[in-house]
Amino acid sequence: VSEDWKAGYKRALLTAFGRSAYALKPLHGGADTYYGGPFDYQRTTEVHQHLSSIGCEVDVDASPMPEDVSWAQFNGTFAEDDTRHGLDGSITCRCGRLRGVPVRWEGTFSELLTQVLRED
């Protein structure tokens, strides 16, 4: 049985994930992730630019598959639920400039799959 489809599937998924997920604020930076949200937007821009415009790509063998995560984040004064769901992963690229960068996709796995199938 050919395993090629698995390698292709993982590559497609991690490529879309790396280009869409947001970099997380450093864990020990003392950042307010409840009101300010968990994302580091400047770092996110760097990661997205590195993985698309410059032409580098996710090192599929060095990056684990994303996993389900939920977190609490301020949703507005009148929100009844402050829980959000997404996928966490860490990105390492082929040239080594990105090494285990913690990133998070805010959405469901099926939404990520939709994004994968939309590419190319």
Q: Which of 12, 56, 62, 113 binds Zn ion (CB under 5 A)?
A: 56
The contact mask relative to Zn ion for 80-99 (x = CB under 5 A, - = no) is -------------x-x-x--
Nearer to Zn ion, 15 or 37 (CB): 15
Tell me the two tokens of residue 33.
Answer: 């992730």
100 belongs to the binding site for Zn ion (CB under 5 A):
no
From residue 78, alpha-carbon distances to 71, 72, 81, 82, 83 in Å are: 18, 15, 9, 10, 14
| Interface segment toward Zn ion; rule CB under 5 A; list 17-25, 48-56, 59-67, 101-109 | 48-56
The helix (H) or strand (E) run that includes residue 70 is strand 67-72
Environment class of residue 18 by beta-carbon count within 10 Å: exposed (0-12), middle (13-18) or buried (19+)? Answer: buried
- Distance in Å, CB of 14 to Zn ion, minimum: 13
Binding site for Zn ion (CB under 5 A): 56, 93, 95, 97
